[in-house]
Structure 1
Amino acid sequence: MTDTEADTRAAHETAPDGAAPRRRMPGPLAGVIGFVLGLALAAGLVLGVLSALREEFRDAFWRVVVEGLNPFTTSQVDRSETPVLLSIRDLARFVAAEAQYEVLVDLERDVRYVPGWLAGERMVLVVNGSVDAYVDFTDLDEDAIEISDDGTTVTVTLPEPELAEPRIDLDASRALTEDRGLVDRVGDLFESDTDARQEALAVAQDQISDAAAGSDLAGRARANTTSTLEAMLSASGFDKVVVEFG
């Protein structure tokens, strides 16, 4: 019996239980069907993911398209360099008091014989700032502290309190009015008007400094420094603490 006749006979043989004969699927056809099923399964998974993310994907797609086609799209490039350390100073200041101030600055600059609507400027700012009163311990030496023979009294001689430069709080400050004439507004198109703001802030700083100097801020710093040293030195075992300024 040849191989062909054996294959034909095996193909027509019935199963042991009398069932109809089974035909085997050719290998190439099975591979094609498996590939198609796998492709369909993969496509289903991809569609499911895209369906879940369709809103985010759509928004991102439109953002890319709109930003790519918009000729006025802006971008920011940071070319700043690493900060360079210039100096370090050791400070020995005891800040004993602080005063908060608010000042209204009203500056007007007129051009002679020219109406205000054409040339001129008026700026009204509400400026907030603070001033520290401190005692500088930097130059204190052993002669600044004297202890009595019995060890019960200590006398400390300190320099007079000083007032620091006013600190302007730009976040708390605000502009109420900024009126400019036509010529000044046209000039702003070519050059930012920062000089006027700097001038107004400088005026506010001077006014705050004068107000602090005319107040009892230095006296408050003197009293607070005295009470602080009395508490510290009394805890060290001294019965009497004398603080002198001068």
Structure 2
Amino acid sequence: MEGTDTRADRTEEAPGSGPRPAPARPPLGRVPLWIKIPGVLLTLAAVLLLGTRLFLIPGLDGLFGTEAKDRTGPAVLKSLQDMSSYEAASGNFQVVVDLEKDARFLPDAIRGTRTLYVGAGTVGGSVALGGLGKDDVTVNEDRTAATVRLPHATLGRPALDPDRSYAVSKQRGLLDRLGDFFSDNPNDERAVQQLAARHIGEAAKDSGLTARAEKNTTSMLQGLLRSLGFKDVTVTYK
């Protein structure tokens, strides 16, 4: 009908009732953090493994090898000492140190170390000649016989040879490996070196080294005094 306002075909939109926006999507190319961290770790592991394999290929050792530069300053003289003893004998010793350190209530795979160390060193036997008095050396009137009284021979401190001493193996737990990673002096071997020196010193006491040193000292003094004209030379140890 004319004059009738029909609104059946009209669609009235309510205020604020427009089309809803699409949900936000992450930008393309952005990887979540929980995927990124394992990927970085796997990449580093692959690089390290590849570098290790490259060192095993002949001809590439010189390309990726390390170069040692000695930047050590001059040695400084700390003191001088006059020798007043005759080192008449020296013994070479070798010991295999097996040092194991365990932690309470923890398995060795978590906390603990075991080191096999070959320690090689020398111990010297010497006789003191600097403290002899007038009564320790007697000579007859004809100067043909002499008697020398000396103290018994003593052993020196064991001296480890760094060229012949080395670590065979070293097993470490997980916590010990982490401690070595953050340590200023990783793989410290002072404990096994001190233990090797102690065992070498104990072996020197039972080796007859002091008796050998006294025998050699006697032979040296007899030869020296006889070259000076003495025919009868007696060396005793007090």
Give the whole-Å Cα distance in 1 for the aligned partners of 2:76 and 2:124: 28
Structure 1 unaligned runs (5+)?
1-66
Name 2:180's counterpart in structure 1.
188
Cα pair distance change 1:75/1:105, threshold 3 Å: closer
Greater per-residue helix proportion: 1
1:149 deviates by 2.3
Residues 184-239 of structure 1: per-residue CA shift (max 9 Å, x gap) = 111111113354x1011111111111111122110011111111111111111111
For 1:215, what is the secondary structure of its paired residue?
coil
Name 1:63's counterpart in structure 2.
none
Cα pair distance change 1:113/1:224, threshold 3 Å: same
RMSD: 2.3
Structure 2 unaligned runs (5+)?
1-62
Give the whole-Å Cα distance in 2 for the aligned partners of 1:74 and 1:209: 38
| Counterpart residue identity of residue 130, structure 2 | T
Give the whole-Å Cα distance in 1 for the aligned partners of 2:220 and 2:196: 33
1:140 deviates by 2.1
Give the whole-Å Cα distance in 2 for the aligned partners of 1:211 and 1:83: 33
- Where in structure 2 are the equivalents of 1:85-96 lying within 5 Å? 85-96=77-88
Tell me whether 1:208 sits opposite 2:205 in the alignment: no
Q: TM-score, normalised by structure 1?
A: 0.65
- Where in structure 2 are the equivalents of 1:165-184 lying within 5 Å? 165-184=157-176
1:81 deviates by 4.7
| Counterpart residue identity of residue 209, structure 1 | G
For 1:207, what is the secondary structure of its paired residue?
helix
**Percent of aligned pairs with the same amino acid:** 36
Q: TM-score, normalised by structure 2?
A: 0.67
Tell me whether 1:109 sits opposite 2:101 in the alignment: yes
Name 1:238's counterpart in structure 2.
230
Cα pair distance change 1:158/1:77, threshold 3 Å: closer
Name 1:121's counterpart in structure 2.
113
Aligned pairs, how many?
175
Give the whole-Å Cα distance in 2 for the aligned partners of 1:225 and 1:203: 31
For 2:230, what is the secondary structure of its paired residue?
coil
Larger radius of gyration: 1
Tell me whether 1:198 sits opposite 2:203 in the alignment: no
Tell me whether 1:160 sits opposite 2:142 in the alignment: no
| Counterpart residue identity of residue 131, structure 1 | V
Which of 131, 144, 149 is matched with 2:141 structurally? 149
1:77 deviates by 8.2
Query: Are 2:180 and 2:187, in contact at CA under 8 Å, matched by a contact in 1?
Result: no
